[in-house]
Chains A and B, each alone.
Chain A
């Protein structure tokens, strides 16, 4: 049986992915290519924060020391955030936003489909609810990958450049951390290694349709699951934690 403190760590890993990606999308609100895309990306951000809150409320309950979702979300050191490196990558341009989203969404859906069968009923319930949202995310980002890939020469070049930069972060999804192994062996967590074949198949299919390719000879990057982040993470947290750090112990 997995211990509570490990289960909490496992949940934080899942919710940090949603939270940091939601935060990145939140930066864009009001700055998208037009109103319609602004509204769509904000919807995705809201879905991700909704999921984050469900996970963190559950984690806070497990912690059982009066912690709230916000204590769990805001008051950790950088190395205590366990999101994968992909989701913290910046909004360099719309192509990066779409590629980051797409590469994550496809994994996210496969992951949730497995998590919905978890022996942990709470996690299974959260996953089941989230699947519906994430199916739409996959559709949205996938459609945009096709539009940019098979749109103009400029859009094709831009999105191919984004894929070349972001693809090396995807293998981290499938490298099980210690806590993921623990959760898996107690039939609570997802066997992430198993998702890889299906992931590559789905992503390759769509990229081909979009006239895009994976970079050759990739050196994969990882570390987020162990709390070793890219330089971007500190700045994300500087914004994210600003109020909680500047005015500690207050309610808002």
Chain B
């Protein structure tokens, strides 16, 4: 294809997206669109399966049977969501194994919040409330993104995820209505998860490299800073109901803006965790790598068995 032809195809393509038409796997698409989508969808999928680890950490120790089944179901949902998203990604011509290789080698990123440890039961509440809360803000607009398989996967994810945040908030509520010790546990979890949750919505707009293109392709509907403000505005009143304090001395409602003003975020910490220096980065990747490596003989066995059955069928047919 000549450069002029590509240019005109690109123009038609951009126009289709502007008119809210969906792009499907076999449609012509600019290479950059394909690459950007593989990157974002796989990051999203990786975040789901790495996200299973800090929460999975508490399955065996959940304090009641009701909490245990809810947590199991939630972590299982995350496996499901990872699966939907990897599948959507595979429609762009990359295999799940290749995507795993990128994750295991450190080439691909995932949400850096999962590099923080879950050290008390309240962390399970805080993750559901704050991390899933922030995730929902990010994800709901994606149900309408331009790439069909991604949008469809997100519809399913959002539908299933609606119980996750409620599950977390209910844990927090129970703690805050419990003993002093339980309430202190909830406060401590909020202290540790608040700032990482704000960071989770991405670098500030002036630092964010992909925003403009992503807006055009409807991978994003609002900027990181807008999303962060929305998250803070909806979460602070929820903390008030719990009766615990957001760990930000500068947090104050601004009557004029109708929004909360908040203190500076420690972006140095954010970038360090992104680079792999967070408290659990190595542990998380090691857990994934060892699950995958230890599973290889199992996956191979299943393929060998399927092949033998196929051969037997052929032999009896002939």
Contact = CB atoms under 8 A, between A and B. Distances in A.
A146 B49 contact: no
Interface stretch (A24-32, A100-108, A193-201, A212-220): A24-32
B60 A240 contact: yes
Interface residues of A, number: 47
B203 interface: no
B301 A154 contact: yes
A49 B65 contact: yes
Nearest to A210: B305
B75 interface: yes
A42 B76 contact: yes
A250 B174 CA distance: 10
B295 A29 contact: no
Contact of B64 (A34, A242, A252): A252
A35 B79 contact: yes
A35 B62 CA distance: 23
A251 B176 CA distance: 11
Contact of A239 (B60, B65, B174, B294): B60
Contacts of B80: 35, 39
A155 B297 contact: yes
Interface centre among B64, B66, B75 (most CB of A within 10 A): B64
A155 B65 contact: no
Contact of A42 (B72, B121, B287, B304): B72
A89 to B, nearest CB: 16
B68 interface: yes
Contacts of A39: 76, 79-80, 83
Contact of B298 (A56, A94, A242): A94
Contacts of B305: 146-148, 150-151
B29 to A, nearest CB: 27
Interface string A7-50: 00000000000000001001101111111111100110110011
A42 B182 contact: no
Contacts, number: 140
Interface in A43-81: 43, 45-46, 49-50, 52-53, 56, 69-70, 73-74
Interface residues of B, number: 49
Nearest to B309: A150
A42 B301 contact: no
Interface in B56-82: 56, 59-69, 72-73, 75-76, 79-80, 82
Contact of B302 (A69, A147, A242): A147
A43 B301 CA distance: 22
B53 interface: yes
B291 interface: yes
Interface in B284-301: 287, 290-292, 294-301
A94 B68 contact: no
B308 interface: yes
Interface-central residue, A33, A46, A154, A250, by most chain B CB under 10 Å: A33
Interface string B76-96: 100110110010000000000
Interface in B301-318: 301-305, 308
Contact of A34 (B66, B69, B179, B299): B299
Contacts of B294: 33, 93-94
A109 B302 CA distance: 25
A38 to B, nearest CB: 5
A29 B298 contact: no
B49 A30 contact: yes
A155 B79 contact: no
Contacts of A147: 301-302, 305
A152 B304 contact: yes
Contact of B291 (A33, A49, A146, A242): A33
A42 B61 contact: no
Given A29-B72, A30-B49, A42-B75, A158 B297 contact: yes
B16 to A, nearest CB: 33
Contacts of B291: 30-33
B61 A239 contact: yes
Interface in A151-196: 151-152, 154-155, 158
B63 A148 contact: no
Contact of A242 (B61, B65, B73, B290): B61
A52 B68 CA distance: 12
B65 A26 contact: no
B243 interface: no
6 contacts: A27-B59, A33-B295, A49-B65, A70-B65, A152-B297, A158-B297
Interface of A: 23, 26-27, 29-39, 42-43, 45-46, 49-50, 52-53, 56, 69-70, 73-74, 93-94, 146-148, 150-152, 154-155, 158, 239-240, 242-244, 247, 250-252
Ordered nearest first, which 7 A-B pairs have the shortest CB separation? A33-B295, A151-B301, A155-B301, A243-B63, A252-B63, A30-B52, A33-B298
